[in-house]
Amino acid sequence: MKNLKKRLKNGEAVTGCWLNLGSSLTAEIVGQAGFDWVLIDLEHGAGSEKDVLAQLQALSNSPTAAIVRVESADRQRIHRVLDMGAEGVMCPRIYSAEEARAVASSLRYPPEGTRGVAKMVRATDFGKNFDAYYQEAKDNILGVVQIETVKALDQLDEIAALDGVDVLFIGPADLTMALGIFGQLDHPRFVEAVKATVAAAEKAGKATGILLFNTDDFTTYYDLGIRMIACGADATFVADGARRVAGILNQSKATFNPKDV
């Protein structure tokens, strides 16, 4: 484990990005780039659970912690990625404290939770280190729930107070859509929602997270109290790089090619 949960508890800012191509190669490249954490995306990403294993293996020798966003809060989906060795789980579109409580329970072994017990899995070095993993999992596995709905905003204090919920992570696109102000990140209703989420998290001794669309916004959200900050994705990095180089080459080509007549 790479101490991401402890770093957040200590108030440290940790930066990350999304992995949505389902590729172990881009996972390895991004894992060596200098991020504190990455999120393997099963909700909107191109990969499946089978691809998660290869990505986790690619990240294992990097300094970057691996979190997986499952496509739903179903207990079995959470168990699968934890057994593969995920260091945290993000659950999207939480609607209520009851749903968040079920997520937190799925992250923990009995008697504190409902996570299934399996020794011969990658997370425990296939049984070799099960006892240590079992004892330390509670302190190391990061539980992240996404605040993306109006109903979640109405229950922020209850969600943040849950043991096992470590981060309230704001999804700007879905939350602004839910608020009827899609993409308007400077709208007073969205700003108010962000501040309310941070306040609830701080009251409970928890962290807040957000996905940025622009790295220039880092200071704005840091100053609001957000400490788990992401920007970009492997698909974005590839697309931006490809377009930039293609644009330069096409500009150069136009200089030498005869003009159409």
pLDDT, tens only, 156-210: 999 999 999 999 999 999 999 999 999 999 999 999 999 999 999 999 999 999 9
Sign of torsion over alpha carbons 67, 105, 47, 227: negative
- For 13, residues 6+ apart whose C-beta sits below 8 A from its C-beta are 222, 227, 228, 229
In a domain, 116, yes or no: yes
Task: Give the pLDDT score at 260.
Answer: 52
6, 44, 203, 244: which one is catalytic?
44
Question: Does the active-site annotation cover 187?
Answer: no
Q: Quick check: is 261 in a domain?
A: no
Q: Which domain holds residue 131?
A: 4-256
User: What counts of helices (H) and strands (E) characterise the chain?
Assistant: 12, 8
Is residue 173 a part of any domain in this protein? yes
CATH number for the domain that contains residue 90: 3.20.20.60
**Inside any domain, residue 181:** yes
Closest by CA position to 227, among listed 1, 3, 10? 10
Work out whether the CA dihedral 186, 179, 235, 229 comes out positive or negative.
positive
> How many domains, the chain?
1
Q: Take residue 128 and report the two structure tokens written for it.
A: 């070799």
pLDDT on residue 261: 42
The whole-number mean pLDDT for each consecutive block of 10 residues of the chain, a chain of 261 residues, reads 93 98 98 98 96 97 97 91 98 97 97 95 97 96 98 98 98 98 98 98 98 97 98 98 97 82 42
- Give the whole-angstrom CA distance, residue 90 versus residue 39: 8
Cis check: omega of the bond before 188, within 30 degrees of 0: no
* Domain-embedded: residue 195: yes
